Structure 1
Amino acid sequence: MNTDSIDYLKNLLTDVRKDDVPFCIEFLENFLNSDSAYEKVGSPENFAISFALNRAKFRLESAKKAGKKTFGLEDLISALSKYDQTQKVTFFNLENTQYLGTCFVLDDRILGYEFVLKTGTTSVPGLRPDLLG
């Protein structure tokens, strides 16, 4: 488990005032301070803001269709829309026992996050011929 990125994000939050950001600081603080929070393998990643924005819009739409509870997506979309779409943003892919999602950072500043509540779905490794119909 890599705690360096979790600690980095916590440190970024220490300098943030509630009025300065478009997202709920308490949700992110609670997530980052949970005992089960960890950074997923392959993280962090860097992508253009346009990619992050399109991905966030897609996730919001698909989460609504699936009836999944999301946190921060609308605020993230609003925030990303205000930046130069060619700029690179850093994605921190995170998970704990309740949520999975991503925190977005630009120039050592948290722009926002997207999290979804886990709802009992499970993955099964390998190909399952019985599900192919």
Structure 2
Amino acid sequence: MNLNPFADLPAFVQKEMEKINEKIAPFMKKASKFALFSFPLIVLSIMNLAILIFAAPYEENMLITIIIYAIMGAVGMALSKESKIRRKEAEKVSIDYIINRIKQSEFATEQMKQKYISLIKEKPITAMQRFTEFLQDERRRSLY
């Protein structure tokens, strides 16, 4: 099992991907922590609320327990939302890095730079693929 997702890429592309990973690592670490804690909180609160509301007989102190589980669910959902926000920040940082790297290229023509930048801005989901293509085109130009 290969743990490096960039192992099949050429060394010059791997180097750039590692730089991107260094920039987004803090965001992804926090996003992972938030997601890790949010899921159990949400599941636990939903299961217990469902049991309390639909299956358990009504008791006077039940309202406090329902409120506690509702708060747990709300905290879990807030952590989940924060995780999504951190992931979007990581995506923005990586796209900003890619665009700046393309702009700073010494070997690419202005037309080539604009082409790749506009492709990345139009479809950010394909940014890594387009960046890899750019790096390969840049490499070919630098060898001539």
TM-score calculated relative to the size of structure 1: 0.29
> Which of the two has greater strand per residue?
1
Task: Give the greater-gyration-radius structure (CA).
Answer: 2
TM-score calculated relative to the size of structure 2: 0.28
> Which of the two has greater helix per residue?
2
